Structure 1
Amino acid sequence: MTNPTTLPYRPCAGVMLLNREGKVFVGQRLDSTLEAWQMPQGGIDHGEEALEAAYRELWEETGVERRYVELVAAAPDELYYDLPEDLIGKVWKGKWRGQRQLWFLFRFLGEDGDVNIATADPEFRVWRWADPADLPDIIVPFKRALYQEILGIFQPHLG
């Protein structure tokens, strides 16, 4: 078994998408049997800027086009989370111990019909709008602290 402390963190961008009612987009992953929800996020490609990765991941995971969002805020620093030991070596081909993420808060300017999770490579089986305060309770436990940090950073822009 690989020692997780020797593995790097995967560079990633995350999106908190806020609708007009102050609710946040969350989806249930297709590759998980858990009832957990998450916000859109994904890897930053080599040479790609984090904000561009955020727009790309949002499109790839939700079908939401860039024209339907406006950037409200960006986290000032990367946020980290570690995978649980039982997942290290099973996800991302065993190359990463967790993720280092740059998070962006976007305001959703479209309508629910502009969301389409039936994308070319779907990530989510269902989606909904959630109250921001509920995020730590509906996420997988190993991301709970990360989501609490995100909420703290973006709190001035919520509600």
Structure 2
Amino acid sequence: MDFGNYRPCVGIMLLNRNGLVFIGRRRNKRLQGHIATDHEWQMPQGGIDAGENPYDAALRELLEETNVSSASFLAEAQDWLTYDLPVEFAKKSWKGRYQGQRQKWFALRFEGDDSEINIHTPAGGQKPEFDAWRWEPMQHLSELIIPFKRPVYEKVVESFRHLSEKV
């Protein structure tokens, strides 16, 4: 896979039994390029390690950011989606190696109890990504994400809209 100047990444839309989506509020408010007032919320996402397939990366990232392991596969977005970082942040993020991210998105059903979610000390010894979380209706996601990622979120919602029904 050639990603050009884009960091290979996965995104996870985790839906509960009521059709609501997990969103977390970014912990590091000083991290330029990823936080904007009133747009600090996002779904779990993260990089794909060398030799790792995207679905395995999605499960790993979900565990590392939320502690969730009780999830089942629902769908995979057909296309890879990209976003560019604003120029003023691109040179600072990822040591200037990437202009943005190229993401493969997966929808998963959360099969556990909310008590399984632990954003403060998630599995894998990773630094926490989020300082708060909640379940949110899918149609609100694009309003909560930082504006330069909004087109990706709109496409993700379009791809997975059919999964928002209560089960």
Matched, 1:22 2:19: yes
Name 1:69's counterpart in structure 2.
Answer: 71
* 2:12–2:105 Cα contact (<8 Å) kept: yes
For residues 100-122 of structure 1, the C-alpha deviation after alignment (integer angstroms, 9 at most, x for no partner) is 00000000001110100022311
Equivalent position of 2:97 in the other structure? 95
The percentage of aligned residue pairs carrying the same residue is: 48
- Find the aligned partners of 2:29 and 2:5 in 1 and give their Cα distance: 23
Q: Superposed, which structure 2 residues align to 1:107-146 within 5 Å?
A: 107-118=109-120, 119=122, 120=125, 121-146=127-152
Q: Is the 8 A contact 2:21 2:135 kept in 1?
A: yes
Q: Deviations over 1:25-49 (max 9, x none)?
A: 0001112253420000000001000
Where does the alignment leave 5 or more consecutive residues of structure 2 unmatched?
31-35
What secondary structure does 1:54 align onto? helix
Contact 2:19 2:163 in 1 (8 A): no
Equivalent residue pairs, number: 151
- Give the root-mean-square deviation of aligned CA atoms: 1.1
Q: Which amino acid aligns with 1:81?
A: Y
Q: Name stretches of at least 5 consecutive residues in structure 1 with no aligned partner.
A: 1-6
Corresponding residue of 2:33: none
Give the equivalent residue in structure 2 for 1:46: 50
C-alpha deviation, 1:158, in angstroms: 1.9
User: What's the CA shift for 1:61?
Assistant: 0.3
